[in-house]
Amino acid sequence: MSEPVYLRPRTVAEAVQMRADNPDYLVLAGGTDLMVGAEQRSTPHGVIDVFALPELLGVVVGGDVVRIGAATTFAQLLSEPEIHLRVPALAAAAREIGALQIQARGTLGGNVGTSSPVGDTLPVLLAVDAEVELVSVRGRHRVAYRDFCTGYRTTGLAADELIAAIWVPARAGWRQFWRKVGTRRAQSISKVMLAAAARVDGGVIVDARVALGAVRERPVRADSVERALLGHVPSEQLAAQARRALAADIAPIDDMRSTARYRHAVASNLTARFVSWLATAGEVR
């Protein structure tokens, strides 16, 4: 077989034209997922390398929204004060991805593109109501991350599309929470992670988003937990109720990293911890 064609677009316009002309070519960003599986895949006919493509890089804050270019690496995210300020759960997740080498090369768009149930940023994107900006020669549009992730390592990305950016609402008055449980603090694939955002007003939870990873075939919102929290004062009693509600939201499996029972226990501990944290963290003014 002939060597794969290597294409390195200089602009997004070039990149989407290459994608339209060659929908079977592999889109390559940091390669930290693709290289791991390279031996198990047949060699692609070609590669479209979007790593460091200027139009896919960087963080822009406009009004009440943050736009993060898809090729922005985790290290770049961590160097952005606006991410720490406005999307602290994403900063916390980025800080725990792999270790420094992976953070220097791995991108947010790649995490979304792989759509693994253990992708660390994905529960955060669910919890903050993120949107995915998609671009092709047909134009640009945004889709809620909740709808974009369709199943185990699958997304709604069309064969001629690129992920251009992730949009995150920067809402005032919300608190964000992130916890990852793995075997150690770095270079660790998550056993369970929980990302959450909530707004407490007058001592009562008036809005809540709770999302978990590694407890189903894809990252999920814990709808039952969210319903259990709304309209209540965060307390240890509410934490116990949230713990019970979680059973309806998750369906962990046994695999080489953990047992379903362990994942269940950890997920309910993290859920309770989020509510206890809300009880002590108070309101954002």
What residues make contact with ligand FAD under the rule CB under 6 A?
26-34, 36, 50, 70, 97-98, 102, 105-107, 109-111, 113-114, 119-120, 157, 162-163, 187
Nearer to ligand FAD, 214 or 267 (CB): 214
Residue 155 exposed, middle or buried by CB count within 10 Å (0-12, 13-18, 19+): buried
DSSP state of 118: T
- Identity of the amino acid at 48: I
d(CA 7, CA 87) in angstroms, rounded, equals: 34
d(CA 29, CA 37) in angstroms, rounded, equals: 14
- Let me know: does 221 contact 211? Beta carbons within 8 Å: yes
Q: How far is CA 104 from CA 9, 99, 148, 231, in A?
A: 21, 9, 26, 42
d(CA 2, CA 161) in angstroms, rounded, equals: 26
Nearer to ligand FAD, 160 or 226 (CB): 160
> How far apart are CB 20 and ligand FAD at their closest, in Å?
13
> How far apart are CB 25 and ligand FAD at their closest, in Å?
9
Q: How far is CA 252 from CA 117, 152, 193, 246, 268, in A?
A: 11, 13, 12, 12, 12
Nearer to ligand FAD, 46 or 276 (CB): 46
Helix (H, G, I), strand (E, B) or coil at 59: strand
Nearer to ligand FAD, 108 or 229 (CB): 108
> How far apart are CB 211 and ligand FAD at their closest, in Å?
14
**R_g (Cα) of the chain, nearest Å:** 19
Quick one: tokens of 271?
């859920």
Interstrand relation of 46-49 and 149-151 (parallel, antiparallel or unpaired): unpaired
> How far apart are CB 230 and ligand FAD at their closest, in Å?
29
Nearer to ligand FAD, 36 or 233 (CB): 36
Quick one: tokens of 11?
């602009």
Nearer to ligand FAD, 98 or 169 (CB): 98
> How far apart are CB 154 and ligand FAD at their closest, in Å?
11
> How far apart are CB 280 and ligand FAD at their closest, in Å?
28
Nearer to ligand FAD, 12 or 279 (CB): 12
Nearer to ligand FAD, 218 or 243 (CB): 218
> How far apart are CB 173 and ligand FAD at their closest, in Å?
29
> How far apart are CB 124 and ligand FAD at their closest, in Å?
10
DSSP state of 184: S
